[in-house]
Structure 1
């Protein structure tokens, strides 16, 4: 198979061993992330005694600086091989995570967090290149399976962190930090043993290290997807705040929100996501996701205007619909993000995609809490309209991007949910 946008032939046959190793490495790594991320704010505020505002500022600074590693790391991955860069990033993250147990000031916290974010961004770019090389002829199926295990790992880690949070001592939080550091190291060991050291693909003469910045269709897709990815924090950040401040619903509904969201994604990510293979299907998946997000936002808004029992029902239905949208949105993003990138420059393109996504996530708290919570129900309706508009742009952006790539695949309809 010769992939669009590349002069290099890539084998149709998936690398089953590499896929298993990547799934195992990411699964273990995300267990560690779940352990640490859930309790991190408690550790930095109650154990290190940093004010929450300083923690937020430090994380924002680290996140913004971390974006700078995306393109350079991606180019390095394309030039010397993605596994090498990914392994280096995992080692750096393991060291940075361990360093958190010794910090005692805001400056030290910010410096360590910045190193961690630089390595995370570099690892994302290189990891994307590895996924592309191991995907074979059915990339959507592998990426859907990988995301399923990633979600499962986060859920398991989050549940595990509850023990440390309940104990609420420095040794308990330290154990979480060291467990996360160990997950980076173990993930790297699995990748070193089980993932081939893929050789860089030959690059055409016209290739240059900033090629993605001249690829207007891809840059448009990244901008679209990055804003649409605000949906992740709609459930994790905005909805819990809305339910606890604007409704009379009991606080335990927040736990139900997380359970339903993760449950739907775990159960349906592979079933639905494995069907989104082509870039045309990816564009249609984004359109469907936008419609589902619009419906869910309307239902979330209505939860403030009804009795408690109705608010509970509306919330569960809204989160279920939103979670279906999340499955389609992530699947469409994978299909376009990988499918439109040239094989020889996957690292560079995934690095730029990571920059866009992380920038969107960094701005999400400000946008969601500042706009939606301030405006109330109209804010929810505007947010839903934004998602629907972005989704509607998915198919034309995909078609535009395909016209700029050599070779046009046959268009296939997006499979129905029922089969």
Structure 2
């Protein structure tokens, strides 16, 4: 986020519209490909390749955990060598590794190819964060909100395509999904070449090389954001199991849950996210998200104790509230994640944030299925309080971050609650 005088800022905002459109288009293409692959990958490896589900899970777990190691170094490389260059290289590697999956015929091959893919994905994710910071400029909230709207839309469209392939059930259909995802990486890389070659920002003298790892407020935010990220598997994993095993709601309610969640996130992200600009705004958005989750989780639990149609209505209403919380949570994460990071080290900081978020997502299935499902209604109430406490920590964390670094526009006013 390059600083400058008023005239320079106005010029940059006018010139920034084209790069914003390019990055939105590139991200949309990439997420359509991700949606194609992610929704059907497990079925391909088990039904087509013929690997046992346990072996597939083990291979993907090993790859995912190994990939976590590359985020921070990859982000630092993006800061020092240019985010666009690093991201394009990562996308090219992912295109090759994704295409190689059609040749996989055993566990070792799957583990090796998936590990290369996850290493490149972690590097690319950190570089993407640094690139978003440069393209977004000094008032990036609306851009990031629009970007996430199109990202969500891309995943939805890709998932629809995956559903068609799954319905066909042939090897050719699954291979088309994989090669389609590989092509999306290549197209995304080609689009990124249309972006300006942003100059590397010089780091201040005497700064530690791995400054993100010694930034205690940002480390605390990383932990909080990773823990609050448990709200994503609530809709994608926990609630479908709860609906099918513990409520009288019709089974089509599971599909309605995903439709409501996707629709409201797409419709509301820009409207709400564009208003969450500063770290102070981000802290308050996290608090709001925690309160919304405090409402949605008990309503989800209540669905297990009501008749069939009441249960369906409660689930849909709960998902609406939860989706609203998701929009506030993601918007707050953007504002704090980018706002607390130094301009010249955005890649390294986004790499750290990605590591924390990915670690939380890796732990989420075990935690949610054992604790919440194991305790039933009490587990949902515990989860609601957990999210509310995390959200309440947002404003004081924003104030702590403001005290440890200069913020534009007056830090004291920014973090007032």
How would you bin the TM-score normalised by the shorter chain?
over 0.9
Partner residue in 2 for 1:302: 302
1:209–1:348 CA contact under 8 A, matched in 2: no
1:344 and 2:344 matched: yes
Q: Distance in 1 between matches of 2:31 and 2:394?
A: 29
Partner residue in 2 for 1:411: 413
Partner residue in 1 for 2:181: 180
Q: Distance in 2 between matches of 1:261 and 1:206?
A: 47
* C-alpha distance after superposition, 1:178-222 (max 9, x if no partner): 000000100000001x21121110110022221011100000001
Q: Distance in 1 between matches of 2:58 and 2:293?
A: 30
State the TM-score, normalizing by the size of structure 1. 0.95
Partner residue in 2 for 1:18: 19
Partner residue in 1 for 2:365: 365
Partner residue in 2 for 1:45: 46
Q: Distance in 1 between matches of 2:41 and 2:94?
A: 15
- Deviation larger for 21-30 or 10-19: 10-19
Partner residue in 1 for 2:281: 281
Partner residue in 1 for 2:318: 318
State the 1:136 CA deviation: 1.6
Matches within 5 A, 1:35-74: 35-74=36-75
User: How many residue pairs were aligned?
Assistant: 409
Q: Which runs of 5+ in 2 are unaligned?
A: none
Q: Distance in 2 between matches of 1:360 and 1:66?
A: 14
State the TM-score, normalizing by the size of structure 2. 0.95
Q: Distance in 2 between matches of 1:118 and 1:414?
A: 40
The secondary structure found in structure 1 opposite 2:122 is: helix
- Deviation larger for 406-415 or 58-67: 406-415
Q: Distance in 2 between matches of 1:39 and 1:172?
A: 10
1:273–1:328 CA contact under 8 A, matched in 2: yes
Query: Aligned pair in 2 of structure 1 residues 2, 187: CA closer, same or farther (>3 Å)?
Result: closer
1:39–1:161 CA contact under 8 A, matched in 2: yes
Partner residue in 2 for 1:207: 207
State the 1:248 CA deviation: 2.1
1:283–1:332 CA contact under 8 A, matched in 2: yes
State the 1:18 CA deviation: 1.2
Matches within 5 A, 1:71-220: 71-192=72-193, 194-220=194-220
The secondary structure found in structure 2 opposite 1:303 is: helix
* C-alpha distance after superposition, 1:330-376 (max 9, x if no partner): 00000000000000100110111111111111111111112111111
1:276–1:414 CA contact under 8 A, matched in 2: no
Q: Distance in 1 between matches of 2:404 and 2:208?
A: 17
Q: Distance in 2 between matches of 1:200 and 1:334?
A: 22
Q: Distance in 1 between matches of 2:155 and 2:331?
A: 19
Q: Distance in 1 between matches of 2:389 and 2:68?
A: 27
Partner residue in 2 for 1:221: 221
* C-alpha distance after superposition, 1:274-307 (max 9, x if no partner): 0001100100000000010111100011111110
1:285–1:414 CA contact under 8 A, matched in 2: no
RMSD after superposition = 1.7
Q: Distance in 1 between matches of 2:253 and 2:54?
A: 27
Q: Distance in 1 between matches of 2:372 and 2:74?
A: 36
Q: Distance in 2 between matches of 1:54 and 1:363?
A: 19
State the 1:252 CA deviation: 1.1
Q: Distance in 2 between matches of 1:79 and 1:264?
A: 38
The secondary structure found in structure 2 opposite 1:255 is: helix
Q: Distance in 2 between matches of 1:242 and 1:392?
A: 27
1:284–1:414 CA contact under 8 A, matched in 2: no
State the 1:11 CA deviation: 4.8
Q: Distance in 2 between matches of 1:33 and 1:291?
A: 31
